[in-house]
């Protein structure tokens, strides 16, 4: 019995879902347990009659939540590997800047966002396009190699999660807290400094600010620290006013 046949056999007997590490496919809605395979699994890569090594077996009742968990797990593992390598090479700050720069490209380019998320593009097409983009943007070294590896492994759709996970893991090591700040326009340096000072005082921790620009919020700020969000955007205020007026009417 080959590896794939073995998995199907186990799944039929014990009501489990199975998937390659990081692969997000259709999850059976009534499956009780999900099995995640070792990264060495390559479809039919195991010798005949040799069952694949199971890394994780866990309860799985909600297919939507489970997909999100799998994506989050993949992002965390890639981020952890990148951080370890960056620390070994003394390139943590360089990688951090490179990831920030790549995230900015994703935010500003709908075409790039589509490239990393669409399953229509082949791995080769994504790798070629990403390589050209990285070179043009001046992103090189470990960061560029990492993004190219992610493209080669067909994991580009999880890059935003990988960047967030990298920041979170790095912040934890530094004893920092990361605040994601969204503004309608670019914030001046003095405004960022004032905001950081205020957040440091309110949290009692050293807060690192990551600023994003989103003109659709019209004005104000959206500040997110972990699961806590402070939304003072004009768009949200206008929406609240509309709902209030509907209730009055």
Domain range list for the chain: 3-61, 89-163, 179-237
110 pLDDT more than 50: yes
Q: Which residue has the higher pLDDT, 34 or 71?
A: 71
161 pLDDT more than 60: yes
137 pLDDT more than 60: yes
Give the lowest-confidence range in 61-75, 175-189, 225-239: 61-75
Of 6-10, 45-49, 102-106, 239-243, give the range with the top mean pLDDT: 102-106
Mean pLDDT (the chain, rounded): 74
- How many angstroms separate the CA atoms of 178 and 171, rounded? 7
Q: Which residue has the higher pLDDT, 9 or 139?
A: 139
Q: Which residues of 195-212 are buried (b: 16+ CB within 10 A; e: fewer)?
A: bbeebeeeeeeebbbebe
Residue 53 confidence (pLDDT): 36
- How many angstroms separate the CA atoms of 100 and 98, rounded? 5
């Amino acid at each position: 019995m080959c590896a794939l046949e073995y998995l199907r056999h186990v799944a039929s007997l014990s009501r489990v879902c199975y998937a390659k590490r990081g692969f997000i496919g259709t999850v059976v809605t009534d499956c009780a347990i999900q099995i995640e395979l070792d990264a060495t699994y390559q479809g039919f890569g195991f010798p005949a009659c040799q069952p694949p090594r199971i890394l994780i077996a866990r309860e799985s009742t909600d297919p939507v939540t489970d997909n999100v968990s799998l994506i989050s797990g993949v992002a965390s593992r890639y981020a952890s590997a990148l951080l370890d390598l960056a620390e070994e090479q003394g390139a943590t700050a360089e990688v951090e800047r490179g990831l920030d720069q790549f995230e900015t490209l994703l935010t500003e380019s709908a075409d790039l966002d589509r490239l990393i998320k669409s399953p229509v593009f082949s791995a080769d097409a994504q790798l070629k396009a990403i390589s050209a983009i990285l070179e043009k943007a001046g992103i090189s070294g470990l960061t560029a190699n990492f993004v190219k590896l992610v493209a080669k492994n067909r994991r580009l759709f999880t890059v935003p999660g990988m960047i967030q996970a990298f920041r979170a893991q790095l912040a934890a090591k530094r004893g920092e807290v990361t605040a994601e700040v969204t503004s309608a326009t670019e914030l001046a340096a003095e405004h960022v400094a004032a905001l950081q000072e205020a957040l440091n005082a309110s949290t009692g921790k050293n807060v690192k600010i990551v600023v994003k620009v989103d003109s659709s919020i019209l004005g104000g700020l959206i500040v997110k620290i972990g699961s806590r969000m402070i939304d003072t955007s004009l768009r949200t205020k206008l929406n609240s006013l509309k709902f209030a007026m509907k209730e009055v009417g």
